[in-house]
Structure 1
């Protein structure tokens, strides 16, 4: 069952239930009013008859005929019976008295106006005290033929009206649901036409302020993120292919040249050394790509452990100095915390060491004096680490892109690298719920600021 049919049925069921309750209420209330009004007429007729009976000392058949002919309030099959204190009939307007049980008469004699219904006949009992202080019971009964006829007519009208209205409600519900779901159908058709070839297209938003417009806007945001992901992937593959092709081309050229003619052992050794250097470059690039791909698959935080940031920084510095003795890394504290717990964070030591090593190495590599200065400060809810160098700096044009894979600033083209390190570093910091910023000015150097929460 699709949404349109479901909405139509639910709408029809709801409105039909409301109309049914309304119709039943109208019928019930009118029936109550009819009974009350008819019994009031019976009571008035009973009192009028007993007073006339008392005034004239009896009602003859001729007098009763004249009264019935001139009385506009005479009801269908109307009968009036008067009982004395011994429950004996002293007057009856019909041919045969209608049998009333003693319990009914006793209740009326006690001062209660009693009414009941037997079939179509309405019965009313009224107590009356005559001039001789005798307690009489007057019982009037008749059939409300006119009221019942109207009630039946009303019932027919309500049932017919309810059935016709139900059909109209179903039709209106179908049209209403069609109009309400038309934007959904439009969204479905538009989404069907979007693929990887035209992922730049966006859904058209019709009504600007309803939930369907919000749904379309959410789809557009999703498409924007997917487009960015496709573009990033395309750029990633393109740059990776280019970076891998260069050393492969160099190695192939060197080896082919070596095969053109016989060479000395020293020349072969030189070719092998150059080829090994290119292989090392490829290894470093592939390792960086694999690490970046692994981090993009969301490394779990379950194996994070307590780490002291200062110890980790010193260990990373020692590793860098061991491989590059001419690099100079200075670590200092702005304010050394009194509690050692303010230097501890939860994280992966290997990943954080990779991120810190990239920042230290970049600072030294791009500085003429190969010097980078680290400043560590423990704040309220995080640790702040700044990496400052005195390098060539990064232009305002390059700053928004330096964390993109394989992107390299124009001012750093002369230095060996692949543009993977900063992308990898930012991903590692984000996995630790941290943030990284960069501040730079051409000719004055750069400062990378990392914050990691406790």
Structure 2
């Protein structure tokens, strides 16, 4: 069921309930008012008849005649008068007695002074009447024809009005919901036009500050992020393809040359070494891409635990020296650094990947293949710096150094894929830390700052 239909039905149902309660209240209050009003009329009629009987000289036969004449035009009130001995003194029509006054009823009238009750469709009132020191019981009964006709008419009008208003409310609800949700229908039409190849399309927005306009703005923001993500992926895949194609092409070329003619054992060994080196480069690239994928996970899916940064640095130090015997690494931890300052919540594997990249990068681009690691603390910040002596990084390169697959033109002779620093920055930011680089006076320093809890 569409929202428009659901809202219309819900609105109609609520209106029906409110209208039903209102109509019932009007009918019930009118019914109560009619009943009380007619009891009051019966009382007045009873008093008038008693006064006419006791105080006027009109004989009883004339009163009977007057009663019968009145019944031709309306339902006359039938009045009966009894004395204290419960003997009938006067009755409008003894042959047609609406109320069968029993001794118990008369006793109740004398005791309570006034009683009201229904006798089938008739309303009956019994009251005490005093005349010349004597007490009488007077009863009056009648059918409120006009009152019941009024209630029937009111009920008919209420039912007709109830269903008529419901129909009008339903039609008005359809119209209003359609008008109110027309911007949403327009959004749906625009969204259907947006595909993977048309992410540049955007929903139309207005200056209104309503929820639909806010939804459109947020949706456009999501499209903007998706478009940037798709562009990044396209660029990423393009660069990976290029990086993989280069060593693969080299391996194929070397093997084709080796298979075309006979070579000496030394030449074959040389070809194998070249191919093996290219294969190792592909493995490094593959490992870097796997590490990049792990660093790109949702932070909620990465396990964090207490990690000692000095131990991670030592593991990275040992790993780099073991893999590259020509590299020289020194680790200096300031005496002012407390043990608790070296403990953070982090992922040990990812931190080791980041530190490995920084150490390897420093040694690779240093003429002496040397990296100096210094650890010190300042206020609530733990500072780890990775420094190397050698050629500086150009200012224009510093602005792009953390971008994926970016490599400076200066050190092209050094092998690499442009992933390491990009991956390192992602890992550092994942640990709510900062990384920055400074290259000046033939020295390049990468600084990582961790917040101390």
TM over 0.5: yes
The separation in 2 between residues aligned to 1:436 and 1:410, in whole angstroms, is 26
> For residues 397-416 of structure 1, what are the structure 2 equivalents within 5 Å?
399=399, 401-409=400-408, 413=412, 415-416=414-415
Q: Which residue of 2 aligns with 1:422?
A: 421
What secondary structure sits across from 2:235 in the alignment? helix
- Runs of 5+ unmatched residues, structure 1: none
Relative to structure 1, the CA distance from residue 107 to residue 386 in structure 2 (aligned partners, 3 Å threshold; closer, same or farther) is: farther
Match of 2:106 in 1: 105
**How far did 1:38 drift?**
1.5
Cα distance in 2, alignment partners of residues 305 and 14 from structure 1:
55
Counterpart-to-counterpart distance in 2, 1:158 and 1:426: 75
How far off its partner does 1:26 sit?
0.9
> What does residue 150 of structure 2 align with?
150
Query: Could you say which residue in structure 2 is the equivalent of 1:434?
Result: 432
CA 1:83 to 1:75, structure 2 compared with 1: closer, same or farther past 3 Å? farther
Are 1:13 and 2:9 an aligned pair? no
Shift of 1:282: 1.7
Local SS of the residue matching 1:81: strand
What per-residue deviation string (whole Å, max 9, x for no partner) do you get for residues 279-312 of structure 1? 2222211221233234445598686554322122
**Greater Cα shift, 266-275 or 14-23:** 266-275
Separation in 2 of the partners of 1:170 and 1:334?
A: 80
Correspondence 1:373-388 to 2 at 5 A: 373-377=373-377, 385-388=384-387
Offset at 1:392?
2.2
The one-character-per-residue Cα deviations of 1:90-142 (angstroms, maximum 9, x if unpaired) are: 1122343431234433333224432122233221122222221x222211112
Q: What runs of 5+ residues in structure 2 fail to find an aligned partner?
A: none
Moved over 6 A (4+): 66-69, 299-303
Against the structure 1 CA distance between its residues 23 and 301, is the aligned structure 2 distance closer, same or farther, given a 3 Å change threshold? Answer: closer
Correspondence list, 1:17-416, <5 A:
17-56=17-56, 59-62=59-62, 76-96=75-95, 97=97, 98-132=99-133, 134-205=134-205, 208-258=208-258, 262-297=262-297, 306-322=306-322, 323-333=324-334, 335-337=336-338, 340-367=339-366, 370-377=370-377, 385-388=384-387, 392-393=392-393, 395=395, 399=399, 401-409=400-408, 413=412, 415-416=414-415
Q: CA deviation at 1:376?
A: 4.1
Q: 2-side partners of 1:384 and 1:136: how far apart?
A: 112
The answer to whether the 8 Å contact 1:343/1:378 transfers is no
Does the aligned pair in 1 maintain the 2:83–2:135 contact within 8 Å?
yes
| Contact residue 80 and residue 140 of structure 2 kept, 8 A | yes
Q: CA deviation at 1:85?
A: 1.1
Q: Aligned equivalents of 2:206 and 2:372: distance in 1?
A: 55
- 1:1-48 alpha-carbon deviations (Å, 9 max, x no partner): 333332222221111111111111111111111111121111122122
Alpha carbons of 1:224 and 1:429: their partners in 2 closer, same or farther (altered >3 Å)? same
Q: Aligned equivalents of 1:83 and 1:304: distance in 2?
A: 101
Q: Could you tell me which residue of structure 2 aligns to residue 4 of structure 1?
A: 4
Task: From the superposition, tell whether residues 177 and 300 of structure 1 become closer, same or farther in structure 2 (CA, over 3 Å).
Answer: closer
After superposing the two structures, state which structure 1 stretch, 102-111 or 146-155, moved more: 102-111
Cα distance in structure 2, aligned partners of 1:61 and 1:160: 49
In structure 2, distance between residues paired with 1:94 and 1:442:
128
Instruction: Name whichever of 141-150 and 267-276 sits farther off.
Output: 267-276
Alignment length (residue pairs): 445
